[in-house]
């Protein structure tokens, strides 16, 4: 079976797009990190993605509607203990607060998938983002040992407990969302119980001139769905057609769920794979976020679900293996979906 790491092995990234700036050492924003000022931000703060209570008997209908109209929602009463979320955030903070030369010991390799480094989308943009990340697939122990030779047990324990809880929640959410389409697990061609997943810790260090920088440039996720904890500092924005960029307000205890490319394909484009970005909007604060990407095993095929094509709808995408799609995305970025369009 092909793993995500094997997919990335076929697509090496040059080191200049892996090694982050030493944010602790800069007092001004270097030209390499200055982005053109954009005024595409909508000031309509009435408008925002729905909040769904997982215990609500109408959750199926609400989740389906949210996926269709927004491609995203916030979820509450999701069963993830708040102290576990806090622990993950504090371990992430401990990691990113390490001196730059220490973090470099866990640097992602050019053909690697995991470890410390810039976002994988960095090569597609002319300027660098005000961001550093840490990607985990499976056990974090090798990188954690490199970072903290004698003190990595707590980090590994917290990460592993969080991964387990996220997997359960992602399964539950997938079930819920598919149910809204009248699709059940038996209609799927892969085993929902053995997904391909990744945990991404994101850090947006305090910035001397936040309005001229970009935290994470606009992108869609390659996942089926993504579950994001975005701490108490705002920064996440989603793009709403006809409106512009809207902030996703941090709500204590809530998690943000967004549709990824794979769910967009399965739903035959009924659910938009929502375009989103992270802005750096306040000096003096260090924003963190934790994204859990939940996907389909890379050897499986993905195509619009047969059940959704019964009523005269023609397929919008051809069938591809997840691996093939991921390679298309890592080479062509936002063009990937149109490359498999019919």
Ligand X SMILES: O=C(O)CCC(=O)C(=O)O
Taken in order 54, 60, 62, 66, is the CA torsion positive or negative? Answer: positive
Q: Decide if residue 289 touches ligand X (CB under 6 A).
A: yes
User: What is the C-alpha separation between 8 and 211, in angstroms, rounded?
Assistant: 33
Residue 93: active-site member: no
- Tell me the DSSP string of 3-14: -HHHHHHTS---
User: What is the C-alpha separation between 131 and 117, in angstroms, rounded?
Assistant: 9
**Which of 154, 287, 316, 318 is labelled catalytic?**
287
From the CB of 308, what's the least distance to ligand X, in Å? 26
Using the 8-state DSSP alphabet, how is residue 114 labeled? S
From the CB of 318, what's the least distance to ligand X, in Å? 26
* Of the candidate residues 74, 114, 163, 200, the single one contacting ligand X (CB under 6 A): 200
Angular region, 46: left φ>0, alpha ψ -120 to 50, beta rest? alpha
From the CB of 230, what's the least distance to ligand X, in Å? 5
- Residues 142, 150: contact at Cβ < 8 Å? no
The footprint of ligand X on this chain (CB under 6 A) covers a number of residues equal to 12
Residues in region 213-252 near ligand X by CB under 6 A: 216, 221, 228, 230, 235-236
The smaller minimum CB distance to ligand X, of residues 235 and 304, is found at 235
205's tokens: 């260090």
Within 8 A by CB and 6+ apart from 67, the residues are 73, 177, 180, 259, 263, 267, 271
Residue 305 touches which of ligand X, Fe ion, none (CB < 5 to 8 A by kind)? none
Q: Decide if residue 264 touches ligand X (CB under 6 A).
A: no
Q: Decide if residue 281 touches ligand X (CB under 6 A).
A: no
Using the 8-state DSSP alphabet, how is residue 341 labeled? B
The footprint of Fe ion (CB under 5 A) covers: 221
The footprint of ligand X (CB under 6 A) covers: 200, 202, 216, 221, 228, 230, 235-236, 276, 278, 289, 291
Positions annotated as catalytic residues are 287
């Amino acid at each position: 079976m092909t793993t995500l790491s094997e997919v990335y092995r076929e697509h090496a990234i040059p080191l200049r797009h892996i090694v982050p700036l030493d944010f602790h050492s800069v007092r001004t924003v270097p030209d390499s990190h200055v982005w053109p000022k954009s005024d595409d931000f909508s000031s309509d703060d009435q408008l925002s993605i729905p909040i769904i209570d997982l215990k609500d008997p109408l959750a199926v209908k609400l989740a389906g509607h949210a996926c269709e109209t927004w491609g995203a929602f916030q979820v509450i009463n999701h069963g993830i203990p708040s102290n576990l979320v806090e622990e993950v955030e504090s371990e992430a903070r401990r990691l990113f607060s390490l001196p730059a030369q220490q973090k470099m010991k866990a640097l992602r390799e050019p053909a690697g998938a995991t470890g410390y480094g810039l976002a994988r989308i960095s090569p597609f943009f002319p300027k660098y983002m005000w961001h550093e990340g840490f990607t985990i697939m499976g056990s974090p122990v090798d990188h954690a040992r490199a970072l903290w030779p004698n003190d990595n047990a707590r980090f590994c324990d917290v990460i592993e407990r969080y991964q387990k809880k996220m997997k359960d929640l992602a399964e539950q959410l997938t079930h819920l969302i598919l149910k809204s389409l009248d699709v059940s697990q038996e209609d799927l061609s892969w085993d929902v119980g053995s997904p391909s997943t990744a945990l991404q810790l994101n850090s947006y260090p305090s910035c001397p001139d936040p309005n001229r920088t970009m935290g994470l440039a606009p992108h869609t996720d390659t996942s089926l769905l993504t579950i994001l904890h975005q701490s108490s500092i705002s920064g996440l924005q989603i793009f709403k057609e006809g409106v512009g960029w809207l902030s996703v307000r941090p709500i204590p205890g809530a998690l943000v769920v967004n549709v990824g490319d794979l769910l967009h394909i399965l739903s035959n484009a009924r659910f938009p794979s929502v375009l989103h970005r992270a802005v750096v909007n306040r000096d003096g604060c260090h924003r963190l976020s934790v994204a859990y990407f939940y996907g389909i095993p890379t050897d499986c095929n993905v195509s619009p679900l047969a059940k959704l094509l019964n009523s005269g709808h023609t397929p919008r995408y051809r069938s591809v293996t997840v691996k093939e799609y991921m390679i298309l995305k890592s080479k062509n970025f936002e063009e990937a979906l149109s490359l498999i369009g019919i």
